[in-house]
Each structure stands twice: as C-alpha cells, then as structure tokens.
A and B are shown apart, each in its own frame.
Chain A
C-alpha cells in the first residue's frame, strides 16, 4: 500500500507526520520525494547503504546529418530547441527528456546524451520498538530546475508488501502530482488558518482529479479556528488525526528528534492514524 503525505501549503508538518507514521508502522518504507530539500533523514537518521545518480536524456544534434528542417523545434513542448537560420540550438535546462525530438527527426540526426540532475540514497533506519524501516530519498542537484524525473526514479524503489509512505513536496504543481500518482491514499497535513485552508482546497482538487481518496491531519489543531473542520464536513473528508501545539514537541523537532520516540502519547496517536488509514483504504 502506498500513502502519500502532502499538504498544499508548505510548513504544515508533512515531514513530521510522514516520519512519525513511518516509525510506528510495521513493514514501513519511507520515501522522501521532496527532492529539492529532503529533510526526513534529519529525523529518521538512516544509515545510507547505496547511492545512485539520476540522469536525464538530453538531445545531441549531429550537425552533419541535420538539414535544419525545424521539425524538432516544432515538436518540443518545452521550447528547449530553436531553429536559428541553418542551425538548431538546444537548451538542456528546458529539456524534460521526453524524446519527442529524437522520434520526429526525419534525418535521425538527434541522439540522446545524458545529464546528471540528482542522486538517490537508500538505507535503513531504526524504528520504534527496535525494528527497522526502509529509507530512500531523492536529492536534486543544486541548480537543477526539473525535479519530476528524480521523483519518478525514487518512487520506483517502492516495494510490494511494504507500507510505503511518500513524503511529498509542497504545492500542487508537477512535483507534487508526480509524487501522488499511483498512490492508494493521500494524507493531507494542514493547519487551521486561512492559508492552510486555501492551499488544502487546491491540493484536494488534485487528489480528486487523480481519483485518489484522501484524509486530513490537522497540525497545531488548537491554534487558528474551525474553518478546516467546517470544510471537511462540507466536503465529507475524514479528519484522521489532530495534533495540538506542544512546546516540548517543537523543541524536540528543532533537535531532530521524532515525536513518537520521546512521547508515548504521540506514539499511540500515530498508531491509531496507521489503523485509520487502513480502514479508510478498505472502504
């Protein structure tokens, strides 16, 4: 089973929820898809066993064969190729590696070379009660503007029979959609503020388009107001967990300590969350 933890708004507690859930769930595999700034490892403290590079195919043009017909530039959805006079210019920064130019070129003048855009690290981390969880994250290279290929690659590490938790990037753009695709369930972490609700509504819209059932975790639930509850009632979205603001938890967080490892009450809450997710998916 694959559960994505997403939010819409940044800073609501995605990683807090995803890591704590991973620590209490049996057979858990945690995959950090927030490849621009992965931070799950700060709390899970995995031992990295394997590292591999992620590359992206980019076009290489054989100027001997190229007749400057311009078909490749027209085919490129991302404007990564331009026909200037008798020469095709390539902009690797804009390339999404779709391969349309290679396919369309009548002269077979375009081949694919590759560019390293990031890396993936995998390993194991200690979980609650002395067990172990599987860990993986993607890390985008600094300056790389295109993260979905790294997310796609790190998601492939999800193993059958595991309770897979994908930690999503914030927002509702391509990286978040790429993370959520193929999930059995989506857990949205939000906060009871106008910003929290605004971005939650956008994120729920994405889950609904992808036809993925979702539930809500309200973080800092005792701050703000009742707007999230009213929204969830109206939209018939279950609230699976509410986490009140707690100074001790915030302090532990600042030191990279997971809530369930230091607070038994939180461990119970997250075990209940695990159960609730199973019930919801079984519906």
Chain B
C-alpha cells in the first residue's frame, strides 16, 4: 500500500508540512518494501486549484492513503471520490515518527465536514 505524506523537504530530514495542497514535497511510502519516493508538489506552483492538482497527482501514482496537517475542501472531494483515506498528523513531526504513528494506528482519520 502506498501512503503519501506532505513534507517540508525530501530525504531523512523531512518533517510533516501542515498544508496538503501547497506543501513543497510529497513522500510516498510503500508499506511493503518500506521505501520512500519523493515528489515535488506541482500544485505549489498552480495559480489556482493547488489542492485538486495535488490530489490528482497522488491518484495518478496509485496512492491509497494521505497524511497531512489539514486538507482543503476541494482536495477532500477528489481524494474521497478516489477512495483515498486521509489522516491527520501534527506539524513538524519527523517523517519516521509519522510512519511509526501511522503503523501503530495512532493517527486520527480526517473527518469530512458536510454543510
């Protein structure tokens, strides 16, 4: 299973970035091989629709779960329609701790707000 995490930078020093749509990088973690792939978030350059753009890119990469600090309403619609689970983690948490918490089932699932 592939899990994407919004992060501040690529590599071992990566920490969780609060924003989903406008995070600089995504770490895509493969839970079987325990390997990371790093992607620049194209959404950050978008004039509009950073959230939908970032969500689209993750769907295209076959991601099944996302961990971030916060999700925008349009990104949530795309991720939800794509069957991607969304989890919340605190800002600046080192990437390895994010994964450890996820494995331990300690991360809260994002509650979709309906108006």
Contact = CB atoms under 8 A, between A and B. Distances in A.
B100 interface: no
A89 B77 contact: yes
A78 B51 CA distance: 11
Contact of A82 (B47, B50, B78, B83): B78
Contacts of B81: 84-85, 87, 89
A91 interface: yes
Contacts of A73: 56
B69 interface: no
B43 interface: yes
B74 interface: yes
Give the residue among A82, A84, A94 with the most B Cβ atoms within 10 A: A82
B95 interface: no
B49 interface: yes
A78 B82 CA distance: 20
A79 B46 contact: yes
Contacts of A94: 48-49, 52, 74
Contact of A89 (B47, B53, B78): B78
Interface string A64-90: 000000000100111110111101010
Contacts of B53: 79
Nearest to A74: B56
Interface of A: 73, 76-80, 82-85, 87, 89, 91, 93-94, 96
